[in-house]
Amino acid sequence: MLAITAPAALIFGFCGAAAARSRIWPISWLGKIYISLVRGVPDIAFFLFFVIALDQAFEWTRHQILCPDWDQPIRQGNDFVVCQAAKLPLGNAPQWVHETYGFFVAVLTFAIVFGAFAANVLFGAMRAVPRAQLETAEAYGMSRRQIFRRILVPQMWVYALPGLSNLWMVLIKATPLLFLLGVEDIVYWARELGGTANPRFTDYPHGDWRMWYFLALLVFYLGFTRVSEVFLERLMVRLSRGQSTTGGEAQRRAGA
């Protein structure tokens, strides 16, 4: 799940940061509103209500395209009613389609939520790149697009990595929230496999093993975060090499 959610959130974050930095004010306001709005709403509210709104938006769009002759209101009290052809997924679709669609909506929701936090980190990192370097690139005749791609983006990562590292740790711990979206994550499986009554998985009778399963999860998460810390520390050293930052200066002094 993290292998998909983290890159998707980073893509959303990069697009949001680039939009917030744009000189075109509608695009800039759109990026800043996205960052402020999503960061200002509790995650639990987003996961509980945004998923429903997103699913209904998909079905409403399909309804407008596939059922133009529909003469009944879509909103009927608290019910959201669209034609059968617009349902997502279709009622006769196999089970794997239902599970894939639920997984897709969950990943998209996670990416939008954590993408806003990543966008805030990347926006600050872009502003931290020394202005003198951008002006030097302008003096050499580079266009704004070339400056953004060759100067700003390569150098911003060293400023963004500490914030992105914290976000990665939060994302690791937030994956159990997938259960709220109907996705069976590792915590769900630990609870079900360790329970005394689990005919869905096995008929073998056993006691309440949930404590041992959750203890194994504790060790797994601690080990995973430790491996992440080591990897991110080495990546930070690699990115700081040759940069005019505190880490880069320390490396130059050590080499001298």
Q: Are residues 189 and 153 in the same domain?
A: no
Name the range with the highest mean pLDDT among 98-102, 120-124, 157-161, 217-221.
Answer: 120-124
**Helix spans in the chain (H):** 2-21, 25-40, 43-45, 51-66, 95-128, 131-139, 144-147, 153-174, 186-194, 210-240, 246-255
DSSP assignment of 93-108 equals S-HHHHHHHHHHHHHH
Judge whether residue 256 has pLDDT over 60.
Answer: no
Residue 28 has pLDDT above 90, yes or no: yes
Which of 168, 183, 198 terminates a domain? The answer is 183
Whether 117 and 152 share a structural domain: yes
Residue range(s) defining the domain that contains residue 225: 185-256
C-alpha span between 64 and 82 (Å, rounded): 9
pLDDT at 46: 76
Comparing 179 with 165, the larger pLDDT belongs to: 165
So what's the pLDDT on residue 235? Answer: 87
pLDDT digits (tens, 9 = 90+) for 202-216: 566 666 777 888 888
Same domain? 150 vs 247: no
Q: Are 152 and 46 in contact (CB under 8 A)?
A: no
| Mean pLDDT within 239-251 | 58
Query: Are 239 and 159 in the same domain?
Result: no
| Tens digit of each residue's pLDDT (9 = 90 or more) over 41-75 | 887 777 777 778 888 888 888 888 888 888 888 88
Q: Are residues 91 and 46 located together in one domain of the fold?
A: yes
Beta-carbon-side half-sphere exposure of residue 66 (alpha carbons within 13 Å): 13
Number of domains in the chain: 2
Cα dihedral 36, 37, 38, 43 in deg (nearest 10): 120
Q: Out of 121, 153, 183, pick the residue that ends a domain.
A: 183
> CATH code at 98?
1.10.3720.10
238 and 149 within one domain = no
Task: Tell whether the model's pLDDT for residue 200 goes beyond 60.
Answer: no
pLDDT value, residue 251? 52
- Average pLDDT over the chain reads 81
Residues 171 and 195 in one domain: no
Percentage above 90 pLDDT, the chain:
17
pTM attached to this predicted model: 0.78
Residue 198 and residue 77 in one domain: no
**Among residues 183, 218, 245, which one ends one of the domains?**
183
Q: Are residues 11 and 125 in the same domain?
A: yes
Residue 206 confidence (pLDDT): 62
- Is there a single domain that holds both residue 75 and residue 144? yes
